[in-house]
Structure 1
């Protein structure tokens, strides 16, 4: 897994909530365990004290020297193992528990001289008696370990079930956030008509309602802006036409040519605005037909034969797509024109190539020119935006070319992406779906 994906995984709200739930569960578990251990410690102290008192009675009952037959009877009734070690006579009422080892036992000596210890969960008391050593071993139930394993297994299964339920519950709670993210992506891509479901209740529903209200306001604002541009463009056509007529009566030839150039520039800008607005509102402006994009590019390249450093075709494929040939010709012409404008005359030729990627056709226009600053990249497809803040005539254009290209490609249901590095060049990729 890549570091970025790991960072994203552990940075997500879902993962953090799940880890918080897990941490809380473990903290509660450890608290309960600690409480039981403290209770057990106090209980063991009471048990040891009672066992010491009981041992004194047993020692008196066994006599001096201790009676082996009496010890056998006591062992049968209590489950203890009683052992007497003496230089002349030793005996033991039964076998020692499995893995029991006096050498590795924890031992505590009482003020009376009795020694108490435990080994593998078996408690014992050792004391001097009748010239030898008397040992009482309180054996643990042999089924205790099996029961403990089953209890621990049941606890682990229960903890896993609880965490599993918490996992699915948290996913259900955070499901509206996934819809919200998808909505943000859609709005960020320019599809302002997208709305997210206003399901559930509480803060997440309020967030969904606020998002939809924001998208609606943005949609109205942008629609008003585009409608204003459209209306202004329509209104400009009539005075431009009248100016062109009046211009012919101007006697100064130099002034006439200068004004004619300015009017032509204004007329081209108005036409571009109208075309962009029409394409953004509906795809009905397209005249779709089956087009071989390879043939279209081959027919377009001769238009730039006199432009330096020239256009060099790369691999071209003859895969038919459903497109408007004139509109796509306009897109490619605009991209090649931009690439040539920003490439030195003595630099490498601008390349245009194609690639067939499963269900889409990619057209790539690439240059080795001056490149575009990183700060300008997010705004390149906005109307009237130009990285050249001087807006000089050297580079030409009105900042509408790439905006119009995106409008045309979007109307085709495709995509257009641009990557650029200052000093190294720019690469534009147009993706069209194959139907």
Structure 2
């Protein structure tokens, strides 16, 4: 436990500018106080002592004369009660000490200049008695501690207010990293931190402009490529079928179909990645929709369904959900083709929504690659061969569809195989 606390403190010290500033302020205040007190003590112990000695000596002579011969203990007690001094009387007839628990404190090396000898042989010694702050030391200590804590809290509040723009800048950087450029960093002050926030806002606007231009260019290119691809496919299908050219013709049609699917996926991914993506929601029986998608798939008979009863009807975009299911089925059937068990698709309740799980029993994916499976155009090493198909947009599209519906998309190794879980909440 102590090691954990020590680690947290070191982490906070390294990463919290506020804590370091407060500690620096406190240490600086303590150092200045020590220097001031040391200097003042040095000044009083040299110059002021020599200046005050004749005045104090004359005052001591008057007190000894007032005590009388022999010294009157009652008068001495009255003086000790009234003044913060201590008196000790030593002699042939009177021996009395106002503070018997400690010796009188003189101002000289031995306190000799604060001692007087009367005519009858009594020696009267004076010293510092009980000072006002020594009578209630606990109260003074608590008050001092409370004032110190108040000063530290005031300093922390000021530093926190001074560094508040850093919190705004950090939150803004996290938003911009997620691609949310619609909320800029608030400009609270016009100092260096305010200037930094304004520059980051300008950078975010520039990045948003470049991303919008890239998206517009990609959409335009994808849209313009559809027409020549359609004509090429039509011309390939109209070629005369001969035994010699049938293989080349089939390969050409397959490549054209792959390019068509790639362009369609690009268009759909850019539409879904846009912050203004529009969903055409309608009440959908998810179980019936998945059954249709499985039946329409060429290898759908290999998929094992596992649907729970009494699933709620959700408001979904039917076309996008069908795209999600089809891509997940393609992925599971492709990578679980040689597995001992067929792929499985399951439906179950998740609160007010529904959870879809598609699992294959293939080799799975290396743990280091799991987080990157939903990135665009990312494929694992085992999926880069032509035989496996795909261009690395399927999982990315599925994640976009789930997030557009306000759901979650997670990928995990099920040992064996890969499991994809999609949670679609109630709208």
**TM-score (norm. length: structure 1):** 0.74
1:63-74 equivalences under 5 Å are: 67-69=69-71, 73=75
1:354-393 equivalences under 5 Å are: 362-365=355-358, 369-372=363-366, 374=368, 376=369, 379-388=372-381, 391-393=384-386
Q: Secondary structure at the match of 1:434?
A: coil
Matched, 1:261 2:251: no
Structure 2 regions of 5+ residues with no counterpart? Answer: none
The CA deviation at 1:188 is 2.0
The CA deviation at 1:288 is 0.6
When structure 1 is superposed on structure 2, of 390-399 and 365-374 the one drifting more is 365-374
In the other structure, the counterpart of 2:266 is 273
- The Cα offsets for residues 88-114 of structure 1, whole Å up to 9 and x where unpaired, read as 64432xx634xx524xx6989988xx5
Q: Does structure 1 conserve the Cα–Cα contact (< 8 Å) formed by 2:226 and 2:260?
A: yes
- The Cα offsets for residues 10-61 of structure 1, whole Å up to 9 and x where unpaired, read as 443xx43343234323332343244324533653576599399839975996
The CA deviation at 1:201 is 0.9
Structure 1 regions of 5+ residues with no counterpart? Answer: 117-123
In the other structure, the counterpart of 2:424 is 432
Matched, 1:333 2:326: yes
Matched, 1:21 2:22: yes
Instruction: Specify whether residues 415 and 192 from structure 1 end up closer, same or farther in structure 2 by C-alpha distance, changes over 3 A only.
Output: farther
Measured in 2, the distance between the counterparts of 1:7 and 1:364 equals 43
Q: Does structure 1 conserve the Cα–Cα contact (< 8 Å) formed by 2:13 and 2:19?
A: no
Q: Secondary structure at the match of 1:399?
A: coil
In the other structure, the counterpart of 2:167 is 178
In the other structure, the counterpart of 1:395 is 388
Q: Does structure 1 conserve the Cα–Cα contact (< 8 Å) formed by 2:106 and 2:114?
A: no
Instruction: Specify whether residues 215 and 365 from structure 1 end up closer, same or farther in structure 2 by C-alpha distance, changes over 3 A only.
Output: farther
Match for 1:144 among 133, 139, 145? 133
Match for 1:50 among 30, 53, 56? 53
Measured in 1, the distance between the counterparts of 2:124 and 2:342 equals 100
Measured in 1, the distance between the counterparts of 2:352 and 2:155 equals 40
- The Cα offsets for residues 317-371 of structure 1, whole Å up to 9 and x where unpaired, read as 7244321133223213323432443447335665655676667655454556331
Q: Does structure 1 conserve the Cα–Cα contact (< 8 Å) formed by 2:352 and 2:425?
A: yes
- The Cα offsets for residues 47-97 of structure 1, whole Å up to 9 and x where unpaired, read as 5993998399759967xxx933467656655755544456x64432xx634
* CA RMSD, Structure 1 to Structure 2 (Å): 4.5
Instruction: Specify whether residues 109 and 47 from structure 1 end up closer, same or farther in structure 2 by C-alpha distance, changes over 3 A only.
Output: closer
Measured in 2, the distance between the counterparts of 1:82 and 1:328 equals 99
The CA deviation at 1:404 is 1.7
Match for 1:288 among 270, 278, 281? 281
Q: Does structure 2 conserve the Cα–Cα contact (< 8 Å) formed by 1:283 and 1:412?
A: no
The CA deviation at 1:401 is 1.0
In the other structure, the counterpart of 1:121 is none
